[in-house]
Structure 1
Amino acid sequence: MLQNLEKCARHLLVSEKSNLRNIKSRHRKHVESHHFNYQVSILIPECGLMPPGVTAVCRTLGDYYLVKQLQLHEMLEPEFINKFVRKGFLYVLSYNTRIDQDNCIALLPTDVTVHLRDATFVPGDKRYNRVMWALKEKKPLTFDFLMTWHPSDGEETSLKSYFMGYECKRYQPTLSTRILNNIDCPVLLSKELKGKDNESCSSQEFLEWLGAVSSDIDCNNQADNFLSTYCCPWPSTVLDKACLCTVSGFIIPEGINLIVDQLRQYFEEPKLAQWVSMTVHGFADSPVSWGESEHGYHKGGENLYNFVLFRNQDYWLHMAVGTHSGCPP
């Protein structure tokens, strides 16, 4: 039993810093390669009201749909591929998956990749015919799918109208705002990712504090506190107020980049705040984390990243994954 306790689950946190004006900055690339996001939390110090531009973007992040008991082969039909796959970016999550065990399932690889954008993947092609046969006849699979679509040509074709033969419900992201008063806050220096003795806190200390604040955990505990001894890291300052905005739903990278653009504009006029923060949480049971890296959700399912955007356009980026997940890029 003690041996099992010593085998702690692996957690990985990658941190980097750059400047939004730097032509080699990878901030947009990181956002675009993290596909499946369910929550965005924005914290702005010394602010009692979320900026109108940020609120407007958060309220127009787009609809998403839950399609019940959809046969998998439907998404390989030429009409579906031509309407949604080749004319934009389709994001799909599946739930309630069941695969019957038989004597051939062990011979199949864990992940099967099908390139739907391949121009040669059409009816009559040997690969296409083989895949359709496998999913339609050999091993018919049915899933509950969560879907959202971002058209690249401005054409608005509704997923709901396409799946009229199935139970398909439309949802919109939800928005909530909370004002925090008189909270201890770490002192940050944009150039000091690892912190500086008696002058600023490290990026990891800040991330721990941010998690506590976002979860409404008291950061002024005493050493003899039974529940928690966590305190705001030193050096720190006191914020008169801060605005915490949370958006929940199925949020695609294109929408998150719009939020980043609005947060950049926040500092175009003089502000008391030295920085703003944006945390993006991926689905715990997402099939991938960054890019096509398989995401392990057997223990925890950590799958998130955080931006700290400074007044001078410097930024910190934290990327975290849990057990069985590939490293962030």
Structure 2
Amino acid sequence: MLANVEKCSRHLLVFDKSNFSCARSRHRQHVQAHHYNYRVSILIPECGVMPSAVTAVSRTLGDYYLVKQLPLHEILEPEFINKFVRKGFLYALSYNTRIDQDNCAAVLPTGKLILSVDKDTYEELGLEGQPSTYSHKTTVRYNVTVDLGTAAFVPGEKRYNRVMWALKEKKPLTFDFLMSWHPSGEEEATLPSYFTKYQCKVYQPTVSTRILNATDCPVLLSHELKGKQSEFCSSQEFLDWLGAVFNNIDCNNQADSFLSTYCCPWPSTIMDKACLCTISGFIIPEGINLLLDQLRVYFEEPKLAQWVSMTVHGFADSPVSWGESEHGYHKGGENFYNFVLFSNQDYWLHMAVGTHSGCPP
């Protein structure tokens, strides 16, 4: 047991501090670059009910779809590319596939198809790719990228014909796909109307709310973060506390007979009430930016709370984390980011991934 603890892999945590009104703030770009999200958790201290405007946005984040047993070559068809890839932002992610064991696929809103495949599949496909950055001494996985949106990716062109032949005849791949489409204009096409030959079920994100009472909470000031001359909690300590709150863990343990204990970082205070809202589903960045905008508006009127938090959890088995950066599941599959919004429009941004992932931007 001790040996396993010693081998626990490290993770990567990037911290950014800025103000929403700053011209150089990149908060929207960071949100937009994190394509695949399954949960958003919003914590508002000193609040007994979730603001109606935030609730309204959370219930209108849009439908998403689960398409069962979809042959991958269907996504390469010119009709599909013209309707969905080139006329909006398509998000597609293979469902119930494990990034460390199975073949996985994703279509980014930039129009790129990302394949993460094992060595045997890669050799059978015969497509150009790159060894996974996080393979062992012997390469066991490969990544293949196909730009579906480029004007040259059409029937008759060498690249198109080669990819279509590989995925339709040489090595057909079939996945269950989670999909969401954000059209760039007023489009009448819908994913269910296109995939009539396959089982395509529509879902909406689910929303749940929990009220916390008399909870220990670290004291946060937007300009104070633990360092050489500060006594306030560090970004890592705050994330640890936030995780304890999300999982309903007691933050006031005493060192009695327990092997390990956890206490709220010091200095701390007591939140009389706090509202925790959890949104679960296949949530695209456009909806998350709407939630972020609404939380910024929350402080336009005086509030007892000086900050609110929004945590966005990415899929552990997504082939990418931010942008096209490779995401490799090892032990924890970390893939999330967290905003702490302050009443003066300052914000903290934490971005975390596992060791076997590309560093967040």
- TM-score class, shorter: over 0.9
1:14 matched to 2:14: yes
Give runs of aligned pairs for residues 117-266 of structure 1, distance below 5 A: 117-194=149-226, 200-226=232-258, 228-266=260-298
Q: Partner amino acid for 1:42?
A: I
Query: 5+ residue gaps in structure 1?
Result: none
Deviation at 1:253, TM superposition (A): 0.4
TM-score norm. by structure 1 comes to 0.95
Give runs of aligned pairs for residues 289-308 of structure 1, distance below 5 A: 289-308=321-340
Alpha-carbon spacing, 1:186–1:3, altered in 2? closer, same or farther (3 Å): closer
1:93-135 deviations in whole A, cap 9, x for unaligned? 1134567947934976411111111011111111111111111
Range with greater deviation from structure 2 (194-203 or 90-99)? 194-203
Alpha-carbon spacing, 1:102–1:278, altered in 2? closer, same or farther (3 Å): closer
1:276-321 deviations in whole A, cap 9, x for unaligned? 0000000111110001011011322110000000000000000010
Deviation at 1:141, TM superposition (A): 1.0
Distance 1:251 1:266 in 2: 22
Point out 4+ residue stretches in structure 1 off by more than 6 angstroms.
1-4
Alpha-carbon spacing, 1:18–1:225, altered in 2? closer, same or farther (3 Å): farther
1:172-225 deviations in whole A, cap 9, x for unaligned? 100000000111110011012336867532222211111100110000100115
Conserved? CA contact 1:189–1:195, under 8 Å:
no
Q: How many residues align?
A: 329
Question: What secondary structure, in the 3-state scheme, does the structure 2 residue paired with 1:15 have?
Answer: strand
1:114 matched to 2:133: no
The aligned residue for residue 345 of structure 2 is: 313
1:268 matched to 2:300: yes
Distance 1:320 1:79 in 2: 38
Deviation at 1:8, TM superposition (A): 2.9
1:80 matched to 2:80: yes
CA-based RMSD of the aligned residues comes to 2.1
Distance 2:339 2:179 in 1: 26
1:223-258 deviations in whole A, cap 9, x for unaligned? 115264101111011111000000000000000000
Distance 1:184 1:268 in 2: 26
1:53 matched to 2:85: no
The aligned residue for residue 89 of structure 1 is: 89
Q: Partner amino acid for 1:48?
A: G
Query: 5+ residue gaps in structure 2?
Result: 104-116, 130-141
The aligned residue for residue 62 of structure 2 is: 62
The aligned residue for residue 30 of structure 1 is: 30
Q: Partner amino acid for 1:104?
A: E
Conserved? CA contact 1:198–1:235, under 8 Å:
no
Conserved? CA contact 1:279–1:306, under 8 Å:
yes
Distance 2:266 2:206 in 1: 35
The aligned residue for residue 114 of structure 2 is: none
Distance 2:234 2:2 in 1: 33
Distance 1:164 1:86 in 2: 21
Alpha-carbon spacing, 1:188–1:285, altered in 2? closer, same or farther (3 Å): same
Alpha-carbon spacing, 1:156–1:38, altered in 2? closer, same or farther (3 Å): farther
Conserved? CA contact 1:221–1:228, under 8 Å:
no
Alpha-carbon spacing, 1:4–1:272, altered in 2? closer, same or farther (3 Å): closer
Distance 1:112 1:316 in 2: 35
Question: What secondary structure, in the 3-state scheme, does the structure 2 residue paired with 1:114 have?
Answer: strand
Q: Partner amino acid for 1:172?
A: Q
The aligned residue for residue 138 of structure 2 is: none
Q: Partner amino acid for 2:248?
A: D
Alpha-carbon spacing, 1:181–1:323, altered in 2? closer, same or farther (3 Å): same
Conserved? CA contact 2:121–2:171, under 8 Å:
no
Distance 2:351 2:201 in 1: 32
Conserved? CA contact 1:21–1:313, under 8 Å:
yes
Deviation at 1:272, TM superposition (A): 0.5
